[in-house]
């Protein structure tokens, strides 16, 4: 696992020792950031189910001004901190060790809003629709925000919800990246790649 572009390009990141964490592979990460890259300079990024921190660290490498990492797993939080240290990242981030729903509600109460939200729940997890809906309902993602969820091809993600809609799905083997935006807002027209 490595940082693939930006000022930290080529830096090696530590991976999980246990199989419960499933880091986003380099190829899928390249697809994700080829879509997001124009939006990252100075962006605020939220990395939910951060795992190794690879997505948030890639965002910092590409110019994001702030990243908030959320993970409920203590071992994952230690791994994120270790990878941040390996990359020499000492500021511009917050690491939250908490349940995703609790952490999102707290960010919503604080009035936090992000330009990019990346959601990478475990593939056998259940409440995908509720998670996406909460991000939009709390205003964490708003007009112009990009919300992306990584998931297995067998997972059914909602095409729309109150105030948001699916705008793009990228396929790569058994994995998918589904992009969501505010309903009625400027976004790509629905498509699959």
Per-domain residue ranges of the chain: 26-182
In the CATH hierarchy, which fold is given to the domain comprising 26-182?
Rossmann fold (3.40.50)
Does residue 171 sit in helix, strand or coil? Answer: strand
Q: Is the pLDDT of residue 22 over 80?
A: no
The predicted model gives 153-178 an average pLDDT of: 92
> In whole angstroms, what is the distance from residue 193 CA to residue 188 CA?
12
68-91 residue pLDDT tens: 999 999 999 999 999 999 999 999
Tokens of 103: 């952490």
- Its pTM stands at 0.90
Residues in a beta bridge with 108 = none
């Amino acid at each position: 696992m490595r940082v693939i572009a930006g000022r930290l390009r080529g830096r090696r990141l530590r991976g999980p020792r246990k199989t419960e964490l499933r880091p986003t592979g380099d190829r899928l990460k390249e697809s994700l950031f080829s879509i997001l890259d124009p939006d990252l300079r100075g962006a605020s990024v939220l990395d939910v189910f951060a795992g190794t921190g690879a997505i948030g660290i890639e965002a910092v490498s590409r110019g994001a001004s702030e990243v908030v990492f959320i993970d409920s797993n203590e071992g994952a939080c230690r791994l994120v901190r270790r990878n941040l240290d390996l990359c020499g990242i000492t500021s511009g981030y917050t690491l939250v060790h908490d349940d995703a729903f609790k952490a999102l509600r707290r960010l919503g109460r604080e009035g936090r809003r992000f330009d990019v939200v990346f959601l990478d729940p475990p593939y056998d997890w259940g409440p995908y629709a509720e998670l996406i809906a909460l991000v939009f309902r709390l205003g964490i993602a708003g007009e112009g925000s990009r919300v992306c969820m990584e998931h297995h091809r067998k997972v059914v993600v909602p095409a729309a919800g109150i105030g948001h809609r699916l705008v793009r799905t990228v396929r790569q083997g058994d994995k998918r990246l589904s992009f969501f935006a505010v309903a009625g807002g400027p976004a790509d027209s629905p498509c699959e790649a």
